[in-house]
């Protein structure tokens, strides 16, 4: 199995989660999903169901997604390299 590129996966997950947070904030400004934004505002300071609040939530979401993306890729790569080590030991 191939390893993940840590920084590319980190960036990809940051972009996806940031965009989702941004869109959720803007949708909440129109009345859809307000409860979700209110709950997430307890974590993301300044995140509100408004246009500006959506942008703030998108920025928070980008960094949050990037950090979790880095953690996920790191764990995945560690497990993949451990699996490769055990396969080569059995053959040798």
Q: Does the pLDDT value for residue 91 go beyond 80? A: no
Instruction: Report the pLDDT averaged over residues 65-80.
Output: 95
Per-residue pLDDT at 10: 96
What is the full DSSP assignment across the chain?
-PPP-HHHHHHHHHHHHHHHHHHHHHHHHTTSSHHHHHHHTTTSTT--SSHHHHHHHHHHHHHHHHHHHHHHHHHHHHHHHHHHHHHHHHH-
Predicted confidence (pLDDT) per residue in 4-61, tens digit:
999 999 999 999 999 999 999 999 999 999 999 999 999 999 999 999 999 999 999 9
82 vs 12, higher pLDDT: 12
The pTM score is: 0.83
């Amino acid at each position: 199995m191939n390893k993940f590129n840590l920084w590319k996966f980190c960036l990809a997950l940051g972009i996806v989660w940031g965009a989702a947070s941004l869109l959720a904030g803007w949708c909440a400004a129109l009345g859809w999903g307000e409860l979700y934004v209110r709950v997430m505002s307890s974590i993301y300071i300044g995140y509100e169901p408004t246009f500006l609040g959506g942008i703030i939530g998108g920025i928070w979401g980008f960094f949050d997604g990037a950090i979790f993306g880095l953690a996920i890729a790191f764990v995945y790569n560690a497990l993949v390299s451990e699996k490769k080590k055990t396969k080569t030991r059995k053959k040798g």
